[in-house]
Chains A and B, each alone.
Chain A
Amino acid sequence: MTDLRDIFDDFEEDFALDERTIVEDLGIAPRVIEQRVLNDIHSQRSRHKKHHYLTTFLIAAAISAALVGTTVIAGQLFKPDFNGKFDGDVSALVVHEPQNFFFEPLNDNLEAYFGGIVGDEDTAVASVLLTKKDNTPFLTDEDGILQPVGTLMEDLTETEIWKEPSDYNFLASLRDLKEPTGLDYEYVFYTKNSEHVVMSESCTAVDVRLNEDRTEMTMYINVNVTNGETQGGAASLSFDHFFAYETVGLLAAYQDAGEQSQQQAESLCDRKGIDLHKNCRWVYEDGQYCLYYIERIRYDLPFDMSFTMNYRTENPLKTIFSAAAAPTLLRENNNAMMMLTPFQLTLSAQQLLNAEQITSRIKDYCLTHHCSEEVTQDLLFRATQDSFPETYTLSAIQQEWKGTACHVIDSARSFITMKDGRVYYLVLADCTTNCFPKGNEHLDVEDSLTFFYSDVPIEKPQQSDMLEEIQKTSVLSLREVSKVCINGHLLYQHSAEDTSTVPL
């Protein structure tokens, strides 16, 4: 039962009543509360410094696609690029909101912005942006380390694939840097029963990248997640200097990082007289595994940093719906399902038609639409034709598809409402339709649609860069999703039972 008090408890409104007639004299001194809170804040910081962490948080959920495009964590101060950091099972990826991040520059001239953490079952990557308070570059030409080594480049032009370095990439591997540099770090996992398991070898690498004018340094801190029972962890890193690697030039690029590629890389390095392990680094870039020739550089960057990353490996929101619930969205079919992840929404469905059903459907359809196709098949997801007479297209089937399928989605009536009232419109990103004729009697149809989230309704973006832009701008916290409507049909509504009594 919901009573009126429940509703008022979540009311974040201010009502102009005379507080003097409400406030009770309880003998509680505001100064005592102030001191208590400030002490708590300072001890919270202190705990961070001592590398002890509290479990709090978090959202978690699956991420879209194979993170080929840039992905962004919502509500953050900068947009990290996790491109190429993961290539595993998409449904296992989780997003962590940026909380409990602590950064203390020891020379007091740095600013830090936490960009969040993305992880899968094996690896988590935290992103941090550093700038100097006076906005001066981290490195200048006078440092003498940004000049390409000409003679080496000449040698390398003989390799199969070669390109000029387009930016200044610095790769720092903790494995190499732990000793004798000033790096110290600790990583603690939390198990399901909140016990701590220290796994100090889990921080595997820090990728450090500079932007073009060298005023922004982005760090990607990779952490191994090796225990499936863990629920999260906390990492702290303390730097006073590290050795970075300037990527001098690309040696080769491979489609995968398998054994064959490794052997080819070793062979290439042997021919060039280069030590693969000392002088080269692998970088995943543009869908390829690139082998870079690197130069080692000492770099002073003193600071302490820590963050927590508690896993709550929630599955994506999935809900099964029927044609009865969404009659103009899809025909009767099997396994019609909506899956919501922080980065995209996917509808999928299957339909198995026998010969009689196919014949019946063709007759119905041709009677309505005066068509003369031999065999005609509707898509499983569609809007009513009345709504979109000018754009609705049919696909014809004999044994295979003919023509191009066109799904029609009314973007203005297809949206996700968040609990705080924000609305994200769904923009059709991709659709795949497969028909599998089975003999002459059955036709198995699979259909799926992928949507991105947009702040504004967009009917049908034609340009891929527009889609990429949309994909960059909106990432949902699944815990905050209230309902999902497509073409005006309610496909998902948050269950009240799952709602915490805490409004945060």
Chain B
Amino acid sequence: MDVEKLAKRLKRKDEKALSELILHFTPLISTIIYNVGHGAMTKEDIEEVTSDVFMTLWNNTDKIQPDKLKGYLCCIAKTRAINKLSTLRSGILDIDDYDPEDDFSLVEHSELKELHHTLRQIIDTLENPDREILLRYYYYYQSTTKIADVLQMNQETVKSKLKRTRQKIKSILIERGYGR
């Protein structure tokens, strides 16, 4: 499937393109919503938020960059899921995964775009499985239990690798002038 072509058609308000994108991306988007919910959302909730994600996409076709459609959808999915969670008055993180030292208050929010660019560069230099663990945990909201299961690792190993990667990213960012 050529997602970029579909995205271009979507920008022209082509409903068929939207249908094809829904069929293609629903499994991924609903999984991200499920992961963000950590079990707090029912199937109906997930269906509702998934639909909402695609409606949001449809109503904001002017904002679509065809080469970044998947990332844009994931981003909408996460924020919509977080919003839904807040209405359900539920927590986001498993207590097992909560790390009070995960403080990345290195930048003002307004500098996030610049930071994203830098972070992307850093992520691309990471070796697997560190890179994969990081992305699964932070980008796809998988729990450390699930990551350990998929990668056939001990959960504690996943957690320690995650912590080391986080520290590494933080120190590189500070070297590059972010933070206090």
Contact = CB atoms under 8 A, between A and B. Distances in A.
B34 A24 contact: yes
B114 A22 contact: no
A30 B18 CA distance: 12
Given A10-B75, A421-B114, 16 more contacts: A6-B104, A7-B104, A11-B120, A12-B116, A13-B120, A15-B123, A17-B136, A17-B140, A21-B150, A22-B136, A26-B43, A41-B15, A419-B112, A419-B113, A504-B60, A504-B63
B116 A33 contact: no
Interface stretch (A234-242, A453-461, A492-500): A492-500
Given A2-B107, A17-B135, A499-B109, A36 B68 contact: no
Given A3-B103, A34-B22, A504 B76 contact: yes
Nearest to A42: B15
Interface residues of B, number: 67
A364 B62 CA distance: 56
Contacts of B110: 417, 419, 482-483, 493-494, 496, 499
Interface of A: 1-15, 17, 19, 21-24, 26-28, 30-34, 36-38, 40-41, 75, 99, 417, 419-421, 482-483, 493-494, 496, 499, 501-504
B150 to A, nearest CB: 5
B47 A36 contact: yes
Contacts of B18: 37-38
Contacts of B75: 9-12, 503
Interface in B87-109: 102-109
A21 B142 CA distance: 11
Of A1, A26, A421, most buried by chain B (CB within 10 Å of CB) is A26
Contacts of B153: none
A14 B62 contact: no
A30 B116 contact: no
B50 A8 contact: no
**The 4 A-B residue pairs with the shortest CB-CB distance in the complex, in nearest-first order:** A496-B109, A30-B26, A482-B110, A8-B138
Contact of B26 (A1, A28, A421, A504): A28
A15 B62 CA distance: 23
B106 A2 contact: yes
Contacts of B46: 26, 28
Interface string B52-70: 0011101110110100101
A13 B56 contact: no
B22 A33 contact: yes
B44 to A, nearest CB: 10
Contacts of B150: 21
Given A13-B116, A504-B60, A30 B23 contact: yes
B19 interface: yes
Contact of A75 (B62, B113, B114, B136): B62
Of A22, A32, A34, A502, most buried by chain B (CB within 10 Å of CB) is A22
B157 interface: no
B148 interface: no
B144 interface: no
A8 B139 contact: yes
A488 to B, nearest CB: 16
Contacts of B40: none
Given A22-B28, A24-B34, A13 B142 contact: no
B23 A31 contact: yes
Given A1-B103, A22-B140, A419-B110, A17 B30 contact: no
Contacts of B139: 8, 11, 15
Nearest to A27: B43
Nearest to A77: B62
A113 to B, nearest CB: 13
B155 interface: no
Contacts of B116: 7, 10-13
Nearest to B65: A12
A419 B58 CA distance: 22
A496 B80 CA distance: 19
Contacts of B102: 3-5
A30 B22 contact: yes
Contact of A28 (B43, B104, B112, B140): B43
Given A3-B102, A37-B22, A503 B50 contact: no
Contact of B31 (A8, A24, A417): A24
Given A30-B23, A41-B15, A11 B113 contact: no
A172 B103 CA distance: 61
A501 B83 CA distance: 8
Nearest to A30: B26
B138 A494 contact: no
A17 B137 CA distance: 12
A417 B110 CA distance: 9
A37 B58 contact: yes
A494 B108 contact: yes
Nearest to A483: B110
Nearest to A13: B71
